Structure formats: structure tokens, C-alpha cells
Structure 1
Amino acid sequence: MSRKMFLPLFLLPLLAACSDQRAAFEIDGSSQHSLTLIRVQNFFWQKTADYSLVAARMPDCMRRHDIGPGNADTRIEVYAPGNDAWILKQGQRMFVVETRTCQGFARLDQVPDGGTGPLQGVFQMRAGNLSFVAAPQGDAPATN
């Protein structure tokens, strides 16, 4: 047997190293109205991952928006300013997305004049898995 035949066997662990994880924030407890964070890390040793967000209000709309790269263990907070708008805060970066048409998505340079609204929860890594952890109701102050 030639050495070239064994090369794919040595590369197999690298191919299996890709991590594609998803977690959903179900709005009002409905899987039909949700924000789903997608986290893709190409190799386990990378300290960064690529993030995107799927805004959905089925059957009316669904759209995927690119958030871009971030720390592999980043936390993304979700706030509700109202009117089917959602603010995502990833470190110092903030984004706004809406689920009325699922088309609206933009990066924010600063906190909106009306504040972020109450914290709904946090997308975070827990025991190696991406999950959404809901904020305790009544304890979530609005951020201004």
C-alpha cells in the first residue's frame, strides 16, 4: 500500500473537528416565532467562531443574518425593546433584528434612545454546548 492511501485517514480527525451548533430563543414559548443563533467553529483549537442569526415568525417570514466572527465562548444577550424588535449584544457589538418581516437587521453604534428594553436571556456555551438561558422574569432590568 502506498502512503498516499493513508493520507485521508490522517486528515479525518481534522474534518471531524468542525462544530456547527444552534440554540433557539422561542418568543412567547412558540417555536414558530423565534431567534436561532448559529455558531460555526471550523477547528476545535480556534479561539473564534462565526455567528449568524435566523429570525423567524412562521409561516410569514424567516431570514438568516450574518453577525460575523466573535470569540468562541462569547455570550450574546437578547433584549426586547418592543414592537417585534430584538437587540443582541455581543461584547461591545450590538445588533437589532425584527421579526415582523424578518428583513430588518443592522449593527448599532450605540444604545437606542429608548434603551434596549428588558433582558430576555443569553445565548452562551454551557458544558461545551450552545444554549439559550432565559432571564428570570421580573428580575430583568432595562438597559439604557
Structure 2
Amino acid sequence: MTRMTRPFAFTFILLCASPLLAACARQDAAFYSIDGDNRNSLSILREIYPWSSGWTVKLVTSNGSQCQRRHALQDVPEENFRIELYQPAGGVFILHQDKNWYVAAMADCRFQQFSEAPPAPGNLLGEFAEREKQFTFVAAGAAGAASAASRD
């Protein structure tokens, strides 16, 4: 192989391998429908690659035709994925992920990470978790009392 064709061969191999590597990602999504209306929802999107150590996580806030935004959360370890969802007031939701706490305001799809745990996160609605190899939202009654006690 000549010096001139070596870069072309490398580029060709890289271009052929890129779609294969991109296709290796595992992606899941689960959503919580606010008041039973699919236009108003909180969705968790998670994605993991074979070479990464955990899930890349996004929250999508959707308020009908008013707004829809995607927000980045902290990465989550692959095992025991769980994000708890609380509601302290109408239109406001608090998410708890390991040591991270977030607030989402549905009126304008705002989102912010708390610097410390809120003193009263509100009513536990449930959790985004993996159940029977399916990523889903599990309502508080089905999630069990253990998740409510894990708030530390």
C-alpha cells in the first residue's frame, strides 16, 4: 500500500465502522402522563453505549402547545437505574436521582438542579425504573414503600 492510499483506507474503514458502533447504543424511554393527558408529560430518555460506564439521561418536559424542552441530567450507573418523581404543587415536579435533585416547572418547561436536597419534595408519584427488563414509570403504589424510604 502506498503512502497516498493509506489515509484513504483508514478513512474508508472508519466510515464503515461508524454506523456499526452507533448502532450498538441501547436506548429506552418512559413517560409520566400529567392528569392523563399525553400532551402534558415528563419523559425520561436514557442511552448507553458499550464503552460507557453508565446511562446518559435526558428529561423531556412537554406542556401541550406551550413548550417542549429537553434537559440533561447527571449520568446514572447502569445497574439499579431509578429516578423518583415527586409533586410538591400543581405544575411543579421534583426528580430524585441518587444524590441529585431537580425541579421541573411545567408552565414554561423550566428546569433546574438543586444544590442540596429539598426539605419537603412533596407527594411521591412513583419512579422511572426497569421492571421485568422493561424501562417504565411505576406508580407509587406499585413502586412500594422502599423507594419512599430511600430518599436520604
Normalised-by-shorter TM-score class: 0.7 to 0.9
**Bigger fraction of residues in strand:** 1
In 2, Cα distance between the equivalents of 1:25 and 1:17?
Answer: 27
Question: CA shift at 1:20, angstroms?
Answer: 1.5
How many residues align? The count is 135
Q: Which amino acid aligns with 1:41?
A: I
In 2, Cα distance between the equivalents of 1:51 and 1:6?
Answer: 31
Map Cα deviations across residues 17-67 of structure 1 (whole Å, 9 max, x no partner): 211211000011111110000001022x64401001000110111111111
SS at match of 1:136: helix
Question: CA shift at 1:125, angstroms?
Answer: 1.5
TM-score with structure 2 setting the length: 0.75
In 2, Cα distance between the equivalents of 1:120 and 1:55?
Answer: 16
In 1, Cα distance between the equivalents of 2:22 and 2:39?
Answer: 33
In 1, Cα distance between the equivalents of 2:85 and 2:13?
Answer: 47
Q: 2:139 aligns with which of 124, 134, 140?
A: 134
Aligned partners of 1:96 and 1:108 also within 8 Å: yes
Q: Which amino acid aligns with 2:38?
A: S
**Bigger fraction of residues in helix:** 2
Calculate percent identity across the aligned residue pairs. Answer: 30
Q: Which of 1 and 2 has greater Rg?
A: 2
Q: Which runs of 5+ in 2 are unaligned?
A: 1-8
User: Where does residue 100 of structure 1 map in the other structure?
Assistant: 107
SS at match of 2:65: coil
Q: Which runs of 5+ in 1 are unaligned?
A: none
User: Where does residue 96 of structure 2 map in the other structure?
Assistant: 89
Correspondence list, 1:25-36, <5 A: 25-36=32-43
User: Where does residue 18 of structure 1 map in the other structure?
Assistant: 25
> CA-atom RMSD, angstroms?
2.7
Runs of at least 4 residues off by over 3 Å: 4-9, 139-144
